[in-house]
Amino acid sequence: MALSKAASESDASIHSTFASRYVRVCLPRFKMPENSIPKEAAYQIINDELMLDGNPRLNLASFVTTWMEPECDKLMMDAINKNYVDMDEYPVTTELQNRCVNMIANLFNAPLKDSEVAVGVGTVGSSEAIMLAGLAFKRRWQNKRRAAGLPIDKPNIVTGANVQVCWEKFARYFEVELKEVKLSDGYYVMDPEKAVEMVDENTICVAAILGSTLNGEFEDVKLLNDLLEAKNKETGWDTPIHVDAASGGFIAPFIYPELEWDFRLPLVKSINVSGHKYGLVYAGVGWVIWRSKEDLPEELIFHINYLGADQPTFTLNFSKGSSQIIAQYYQLIRLGFEGYKNIMENCQENAVILKNGIEKTGRFNIISKDIGVPLVAFSLKDNSIHNEFEISDMLRRFGWIVPAYTMPPDAQHVTVLRVVIREDFSRTLADRLVADIQKVLSELDAQPARASAKLNAANSEDGTQQMTRKKSALEMQMEVCSVWKKFVDERKLKTNGVC
């Protein structure tokens, strides 16, 4: 008679993952476990936790690409073990990066002669690209000041208050003062006239945004260039412009070709763009392009030879994967100008469809503009009873991730919801989102007001806040309970006791 092994002694590979001992206990969270576990169990445990993440395709907060063609996915996986920095070992990957730099430079109308190589580099994203561009401006400004015998201890950058946080990081990390043009009600981008007024002899550049994160609007780079040219002529300064085209750099050339924002303007010395946004590549790639070699100081470029050959490098990161660089080249040659144009036009049309649907509810003001990044930013006409944060929270029940946020100074009293339209956001999804927003509004209308709104209303008369004695915590709790009890009783009457 054969005797079976005890469960603990038998081969772990014959057990169902969910019947094994590895899922019966919690794995350590802060220390490496003492023992190994089977690969199947490790995969299942991690995969189960990741199920609790949001669906990237329904993450309407993000500008980052969430879908690519299977052929490109395969190229990325095939190159996932290549370290891009090993240029001598992977010369073809380096060549593909250089081709991307030149294609993008020409897209941005860089003043290149026939067969002239563009000056630029691939980065992990626009944050690194902005750091590199900012360092180039700072060093260029310092060199000119030193040559003239002037102090170099107080550099500054002029931007709008609507800039992305990476600009604040650059200013803090590299000791540059950030001079922000405040926003105003109804005007949510940098005012070029106010920006030029803030420029002084210590300004290393003015940063313009082609596609504000807040509402997708393009800043008027042409007007900024003209005003700054006049000021430079008057003062003898040479203050340049950097265009942060992280979102709009792969949009404007295709659907707004007549818009002058790029190297056609003489003061624009560098431009960054995110390949992982409307460049249509998964997260992890950005680009920075300089107008000419003179705009990138040579002393910032390092030369190394311990990987097999002399290799120039100008990046903050050293090692990084090759997959996104290869994917960017795939998209550029696969889609071409025609393909990008079709995709951007489709995104813009879907944004219009969504905007019209939201307007038809009659409950929102549209904050975004018709010309800009394809997104819809909107705010409640009346948020005294329920607000945008409640709408954002309730939309998550339908799977949608729609951010709610307040505007920067001096428009911080405005709260906004924003939906970014990406390549994979279809008309069907746009219709579904509008329907779900209407459901949320109906549910909110049926609910009592936020406790704070109810209590404020109770303490006011004819719209004027009256002074009352400070309520105790118990009294506040009783009032809130009373509001909810009334709401529940009313719901019971409406449903005739049917749950």
Query: What average pLDDT does the segment 363-386 reach?
Result: 95
List, for residues 413-445, the tens digit of each pLDDT value.
999 999 999 999 999 999 999 999 999 999 999
Concatenated DSSP letters of 394-460: HHGGGT-B--EEEPPTT-TT-EEEEEE--TT--HHHHHHHHHHHHHHHHHHHHSPPPHHHHHHHHTE
CATH 3.40.640.10 domain position(s) in the chain: 73-333
Q: What is the pLDDT of residue 115?
A: 83
Query: What average pLDDT does the segment 380-399 reach?
Result: 95
Percent of the chain with pLDDT over 70: 85
pLDDT category at 389 given cuts 50, 70, 90 is very high
Beta carbons of 373 and 425 less than 8 angstroms apart = no
Both tokens assigned to 391: 């709408």
H/E run at residue 178: strand 177-181
The single residue listed with the structure tokens 């809130």 is 480
Concatenated DSSP letters of 4-44: PPPTTTS-GGGS-GGGSGGGSSPPPSSS--SS---HHHHHH
Output the CA torsion sign for 335, 337, 338, 341: positive
Q: What is the pLDDT of residue 498?
A: 36
List, for residues 283-312, the tens digit of each pLDDT value.
999 999 999 999 999 999 887 765 555 667
- Higher model confidence: residue 449 or residue 100? 100
CATH topology of domain 14-53: MYOD Basic-Helix-Loop-Helix Domain, subunit B (4.10.280)
Selection from 245, 190, 216, 161 nearest residue 376 by Cα: 216
Respond yes or no on whether the N-terminal peptide bond of residue 382 is cis (omega within 30° of 0).
no
Selection from 429, 338, 412 nearest residue 376 by Cα: 429
Concatenated DSSP letters of 252-316: HHHH-TT---STTSTTEEEEEEETTTTT---SS-EEEEESSGGGS-GGG-EEE-TTSS-EEE--S
pLDDT category at 356 given cuts 50, 70, 90 is very high
Q: What number of helices (H) and strands (E) belong to the chain?
A: 13, 15
Query: What average pLDDT does the segment 373-379 reach?
Result: 98
Both tokens assigned to 253: 């050339």
Query: What average pLDDT does the segment 469-493 reach?
Result: 53
pLDDT category at 454 given cuts 50, 70, 90 is low
Percent of the chain with pLDDT over 90: 72
- Parallel, antiparallel or unpaired: strands 203-209 and 156-160: parallel
- Higher model confidence: residue 372 or residue 464? 372
Both tokens assigned to 58: 């329904």
Q: How far apart are CA 424 and CA 328, in angstroms?
A: 17
Both tokens assigned to 276: 């992982």
Q: What is the pLDDT of residue 451?
A: 52
Least confident of 8-17, 212-221, 278-287, 308-317: 8-17
Least confident of 5-19, 99-113, 166-180: 5-19
Q: How far apart are CA 77 and CA 73, in angstroms?
A: 6
The single residue listed with the structure tokens 């260029």 is 140
Check whether domain 73-333 has CATH 3.40.640.10, yes or no: yes
CATH 4.10.280.50 domain position(s) in the chain: 14-53
Q: Is the pLDDT of residue 63 over 70?
A: yes
List, for residues 142-191, the tens digit of each pLDDT value.
999 999 999 999 999 999 999 999 999 999 999 999 999 999 989 999 99
Q: How far apart are CA 281 and CA 125, in angstroms?
A: 11
Q: Walk across the sheet containing 119-123 and list its strands.
A: 119-123, 286-290, 268-274, 241-244, 203-209, 156-160, 177-181
- The end-to-end CA distance of the chain, in Å, is 60
Selection from 354, 371, 289, 281 nearest residue 321 by Cα: 281
The single residue listed with the structure tokens 């404007």 is 252
**CA 469 from chain center: how many Å?**
46
Query: What average pLDDT does the segment 397-421 reach?
Result: 95
* Mean pLDDT, rounded, of the chain: 88
Q: What is the pLDDT of residue 308?
A: 57
- Higher model confidence: residue 238 or residue 305? 238
Q: What is the pLDDT of residue 18?
A: 72
Q: How far apart are CA 45 and CA 53, in angstroms?
A: 14
pLDDT category at 469 given cuts 50, 70, 90 is very low
Count the neighbouring beta carbons within 10 Å of the beta carbon of residue 59: 18
Q: What is the CA radius of gyration of the chain?
A: 28
Q: How far apart are CA 224 and CA 207, in angstroms?
A: 10
Q: What is the pLDDT of residue 495?
A: 41
Q: How far apart are CA 416 and CA 184, in angstroms?
A: 14
Amino acid in position 279: G
- Parallel, antiparallel or unpaired: strands 177-181 and 203-209: unpaired
Query: What average pLDDT does the segment 112-125 reach?
Result: 92
H/E run at residue 194: helix 192-198
Residues contacting 396, CB < 8 A, separation 6+: 54
Q: Is the pLDDT of residue 327 over 80?
A: yes
Q: Is the pLDDT of residue 488 over 70?
A: no
Beta carbons of 58 and 424 less than 8 angstroms apart = no
Q: How far apart are CA 102 and CA 116, in angstroms?
A: 9
Helices 165-173 and 126-147, packing angle to 10 deg: 40
**CA 495 from chain center: how many Å?**
45
Q: What is the pLDDT of residue 490?
A: 56
